[in-house]
Amino acid sequence: MRSIDVNVITDNIKEMCIEANHVLTSDMKCALDEAVKSEKTDLGKQILNQLEENLTIAKEDMIPICQDTGMAVVFMEIGQDVHFEGGSLEEAVNEGVRRGYIEGYLRKSVVGDTIERVNTKDNTPAVIHYELVPGENVKITVAPKGFGSENMSRVFMLKPADGIEGVKNAILTAVKDAGPNACPPMVVGVGIGGTFEKCALLAKKALTRDISVGSDIPYVRELEKEMLQKINETGIGPGGLGGTTTALAVNINTYPTHIAGLPVAVNICCHVNRHSVRVL
């Protein structure tokens, strides 16, 4: 049994909130670099160059990549041999978010009630997903999610008879409906299977997977490639102003489902796809 003081969690979450909002992950940077080279339109190439310039300035001057510094989504993969001490784990996570957004001078975008709309002033509470796994490590993923792209996400409760073609149509429908509102070039996270809420969680977590690494399942890996090609053929392009680079990646996660269902969720993220990952 390994003991971890929750203050360690707070300190790491604080740093990760700041890091994710200022520095692009290496896989996203590589994808953008490749997009600049492969984009076939002059306007699309110009926009991609401007996005890269923005990223460079953000990193060098420690300015947030985007003015929408998102709602903090935190994935906690907790080894079953870990014991937390020193207080509540959930309170520790939210305290880390609070400190990160206040000390990092990040925009506070969370309201305490969806109807009354009073700002909490510290970007808490976070959306926290817990998963118990074997071992004595804790893997933390902090993914600040801006709502320009989040608002464009969709859940489709398809019939089994819709099959793989129905899944493809659902993905393309979500992307086309999103158009410029998701700040393309986008990353498209897809969840297939489970239940109404499970497919959405699968899609959300798919966005945190290294976009240079395809699915372990052969047909899913091929589907990711096919959908990326078809999305880039829509012509939406960088900034939604036309071009050949509408998406940088399509990441798909799957899960078993009921004989009567085929749930599909599409969670879209903008071109920065912010996230930070640490293993304690």
8 Å CB contact between 251 and 224: yes
What is d(CA 126, CA 131) in angstroms, rounded to the nearest whole number? 16
Rounded to whole angstroms, the Cα distance separating 251 from 270 reads 14
- Please check whether residue 203 lies inside any domain of the structure: yes
- Please compute the mean of the pLDDT values over residues 5-30 and round it to a whole number: 95
Same domain flag for 117 and 70: yes
Mean pLDDT of the region 130-157: 96
> Residue 109 domain-assigned?
yes
Indicate if 166 and 265 belong to the same structural domain: yes
Domain that holds residue 141: 2-21+65-145
> Average pLDDT, stretch 185-199?
97
Residue 47 belongs to some domain of the structure: no
**226-258 pLDDT, tens digit each:** 999 999 999 999 999 999 999 999 999 999 999
State the Cα–Cα distance between residues 76 and 208, nearest whole angstrom. 13
In tens, the pLDDT along 25-70 reads 999 999 999 999 999 999 999 999 999 999 999 888 889 999 899 9
Has residue 90 been placed in a domain? yes
How far is the C-alpha of 144 from the C-alpha of 114, rounded, in Å?
19
pLDDT of residue 253: 98
pLDDT band at 1 (very low <50, low <70, confident <90, very high): confident
Residue pair 219/158 in contact (Cβ under 8 Å)? The answer is no
